[in-house]
Amino acid sequence: MKKNNAKIKVLLSKLGLDVHNRGLITVAKMLRDSGMEVIYLGNALPDEIINIAIQEDADVIGVSSLGGAHLTLGKDLIDLATEKGLKDSTIFIIGGIFSIEDHQKLKEAGFDEVFTAGATQEEIVGAINGLVA
Amino acid sequence: MAGTKKTTKEILQENLKNEKPHSLYNAESVKKIKNDYDLFKKNYLEKKGGEWQTVPHTILGSEIPRDMLYAPVHAPELDYDFDLGYPGSEPCTRGIHPNMYRGKKFTIRQINGYGGPEDTNQRLKYMLEHGATGLSVIHDLPTTQMYDSDDPISKGQVGMSGVAIDYADDMEILFDNIPIDKVTVSLVTHYPSNTAILFPMYLAAAERKGLSFDVLKGSVQNDITLEEVVRSGPEYIPPRDCFRIQVDNIEFIKNNVPGFNFNTLNGYNLHEFGTSGVTEMAVAVANAIESLDEMVARGYDVDWVAQRLAFFWSISSDFFEEVSRIRAVRRLWYRIMKYRFGAKNPRAMWMRCHVQTSGISLVREEPLNNIVRAAIQSLSAVFGGVQSLHVDSYDEAYSVPTEQAALISLRTQQIIQEETAITDVVDPLGGSFYVEALTNEIEKRILDEVEEIEKIGGYVAAIEKGWIHNKVAAYFCKEKELIDKGVIKFVGSNVYKSGMAANPIEVFSYPEGVEQRQKAKIAALKLRRDNEKVASALAALENACRGKDNIVPFSLDCARVGCTGGEIFKVFKKAFGLWKPPVFW
């Protein structure tokens, strides 16, 4: 399902106002080191994330939330992607601190993959390669 | 500045070179011990092989090499009076008070905050009822990032990870029926900008309770590192302006609220974000030096100012490094105050600190193990002689703590204080060959990094140039690799994996309807308040930002007339413009 990019193109963003970006910066580096193209957006709301993903024709949208807003903003992101016709052509990944119940809810909301603290480089890179292929 | 001025290291070296007249060990003994030690080492390695020196890999550690055995040869010039002295006396290595915890036990100060001010008020009272001896309040993401609860960007985040405070009335509700003239209150305001917004709201709430400012006691954070380095946010003001607000807060609070620590140099969040314990302390010390320089430039006496400086450290898992670090920075700070600033007031030379156990060391798998981790970290803090302590709760790898989990954190501290007799003796690890050698090494490394920052042109310059951002990103990316490879170990997670599948514990659920409640309150406020007064208070604040006057009296006026935090931050953004921080990966 890869788009017309030379490398897998990943857009990474912090959801909303969440201040914790250690994890997302680490992921940015590991994806780049694995040969992907990474756009690091910083903090943004779903509409900005979707707009940039369309402009950039990103294969993957990865968002990070450790502040508790993952269900609200995560669902907004997926809804907006569906509305803009992006949901089926793009991979959606979310990472952060979630309870096991919320982990399940995020999957049900439409995220292709959900990662919590402790996910390894191998798991994250492997999942993206598998999903985009 | 760089190049023309002596570095702090150079100043200390000049002043300290001839001050070791009473070496604890005579040269002859040291020579004999050195011989025997080398022989012991040689014999051991020949027989058993292996490494004499190893480098510990622990979460947030400094990777300082360790010998298998420590002896007087590791600090052969140790001079009791000069290097250690007596607690409460120069150079305070052993503690800032002569009797330490026999006189005043460390303050049990657990951080609290969730939902609206009504919700957190209940939790604060619960903690006090169960023996907390200080309060600490953390704000939700919109409040911390300085957006109102009704701002579109706050959606879904109101009351999450902290308490929502939109305007002064919320502060009044937060401390309703809590005696803030008696109990010390730490407001975790993080940023200078945020401190200039929220502390005035606290003052306005105190005024309405009929309290004068001089009865208030506690701390704000007010740290540029948090606003410009550690934080991830949508909008930033430039570092120079941020630093100016930091110093404006210091000046205002010292002059008007003398019982408040005007900044708590926050190593904690930087350490947790991803640095070694050495960098954590070097950055806080460099920032403190620069703030004091600026206060001296504004005409203040350093002995008067520095009495209210406080530090906040994160205590992680390398037990002896953590004990030694606290002792090392306490001695270093004393010497910096004495020799670099010429301080004479002993109180101005104290490195007073609050510490919190390490959040990032908490593990999701088998979360009850986190009780053990936090307890061990707490012990190193207490052996280090800290003033105040927060113990992380075992469920914080999932969410903010439940009441039950928060109670265990409180009880951990009470068990240390009441059941173990640890607090009966001052600096119980002082004199350990190992701890003294490590204390020396860490003090040296902190001072080296302070010098590195000074050579860049100072701490604000180090932020502007991305030096610190780069250093942090390099550290945590490397650390992540070490964790993935199992070099840094987490029991139950990357070693002795549990294979646990489901939530084994009850996880906190946030109260519902907070966002709606805060939005309704703001809507009502905007109808009720005198909007002309609001507009003129905001205009006066903007004028102050553009000029040279201290801005805090103006933001206090804003708080008094009912401006919201978001309205005040808009003024800062308009007056100072925006800055894009470097992101390295």
pLDDT band per the 50, 70, 90 thresholds, residue B4:
low
B197 shares a domain with B90: no
pLDDT, tens digit, 9 for 90 and up, residues A44-102: 999 999 999 999 999 999 999 988 889 999 999 999 999 999 999 999 999 998 888 89
Please list every residue in chain B whose beta carbon sits closer than 8 Å to the beta carbon of residue A26.
476-477, 480, 585
Tell if the CB–CB gap between B155 and A116 is shorter than 8 Å: no
B310 shares a domain with B238: no
Q: Quote the minimal CA–CA distance from B62 to chain A in Å.
A: 18
Domain count, chain B: 2
Return the DSSP state at B510.
P
Domain at B408, CATH number = 3.20.20.240
Please name the member of A19, A42, A100 whose beta carbon is closest to the beta carbon of B503: A100
Q: Quote the minimal CA–CA distance from B39 to chain A in Å.
A: 45
Tell if the CB–CB gap between B473 and A43 is shorter than 8 Å: no
CA angle B255, B261, B267 (to 5 degrees): 135
In this structure, the number of other CB atoms found within 10 A of the CB of residue B10 comes to: 13
Of A24, A25, A94, which to mutate for an interface test with B (greatest number of B Cβ within 10 Å)?
A25
Structurally, what CATH architecture does the domain formed by A9-132 represent?
3-Layer(aba) Sandwich (3.40)
pLDDT beyond 60 at B388 = yes
Model pLDDT, residue B536: 98
Model pLDDT, residue B350: 97
Tell if the CB–CB gap between A68 and B234 is shorter than 8 Å: no
Q: Quote the minimal CA–CA distance from B546 to chain A in Å.
A: 27
B286 shares a domain with B383: yes
B207 shares a domain with B84: no
Please name the member of B157, B398, B476 whose beta carbon is closest to the beta carbon of A17: B157
- Which residues span the domain enclosing B169? 110-183+189-261+515-585
Model pLDDT, residue A34: 95
Last residue of a domain, one of B497, B523, B556: B497
Over range B54-83, report the average pLDDT: 96
Start-end of H helices in B175-225:
192-208, 224-225
The full 3-state SS of chain A, as one line of letters, equals CCCCCCCCEEEEEEECCCCCCHHHHHHHHHHHHCCCEEEEEEEECHHHHHHHHHHHCCCEEEEEECCCCHHHHHHHHHHHHHHCCCCCCCEEEEEECCCHHHHHHHHHHCCCEEEECCCCHHHHHHHHHHHHC
pLDDT, tens digit, 9 for 90 and up, residues B224-260: 999 999 999 999 999 999 999 999 999 999 999 999 9
- Structure-block tokens of residue A38: 């990474």
Residue B290 CA to residue B297 CA, distance in Å, equals 10
Length of chain B: 585
Residue A123 CA to residue B480 CA, distance in Å, equals 13
3-state class (DSSP) for residue B418: helix
Please give the residue of chain A at the shortest CA–CA distance from B139.
A67
Model pLDDT, residue B2: 43
CB A77 within 8 A of CB A92: yes
Please give the residue of chain A at the shortest CA–CA distance from B505.
A99
CB A16 within 8 A of CB A75: no
B347 shares a domain with B415: yes
pLDDT beyond 70 at B141 = yes
Weakest mean pLDDT among A34-43, B305-314, B391-400: B391-400
B583 shares a domain with B554: yes
**Hunting for tokens 């803030």 — which residue is that?**
B180
Identity at A37, one-letter amino acid code = E
Model pLDDT, residue A133: 80
B550 shares a domain with B520: yes
Q: Quote the minimal CA–CA distance from B146 to chain A in Å.
A: 10
Residue B534 CA to residue B561 CA, distance in Å, equals 6
CB A114 within 8 A of CB A106: yes
B272 shares a domain with B255: no
Residues of B with CB under 8 A from a CB of A: 141-142, 144-145, 147, 152-157, 160-161, 230-234, 273-274, 363-365, 397-399, 473, 476-477, 480-481, 484, 490, 493-494, 502-503, 507, 510, 583-585
pLDDT, tens digit, 9 for 90 and up, residues B24-55: 999 999 999 999 999 999 999 999 999 999 99
Q: At what angle do helices B565-576 and B552-560 cross, to 10 degrees?
A: 150
Last residue of a domain, one of B463, B497, B531: B497
How would DSSP label each residue in B89-131? STT-TT-SSSSGGGTSPPEE--EE--SSHHHHHHHHHHHHHTT
Please name the member of A19, A24, A38 whose beta carbon is closest to the beta carbon of B231: A19
B273 shares a domain with B387: yes
CB B326 within 8 A of CB B384: yes
- Structure-block tokens of residue B167: 């305007």
Which residues 53-92 of chain A have a CB within 8 Å of chain B?
Answer: 67-69, 71-73, 76
Determine, yes or no, domain membership for B508. no
Residue B207 CA to residue B201 CA, distance in Å, equals 10
Residue B229 CA to residue A19 CA, distance in Å, equals 11
3-state class (DSSP) for residue B424: helix
* B443 backbone dihedrals φ, ψ, rounded to 5°: -60, -45
Please name the member of B144, B147, B364 whose beta carbon is closest to the beta carbon of A117: B364
Q: Quote the minimal CA–CA distance from A65 to chain B in Å.
A: 11
Tell if the CB–CB gap between A100 and B233 is shorter than 8 Å: no
- CB–CB contacts below 8 A, A to B: 114
| Domain locations in chain A as residue ranges | 9-132
B273 shares a domain with B178: no
pLDDT band per the 50, 70, 90 thresholds, residue B439:
very high
Entry pTM: 0.94
Residue B207 CA to residue B260 CA, distance in Å, equals 16
Please give the residue of chain B at the shortest CA–CA distance from A22.
B273
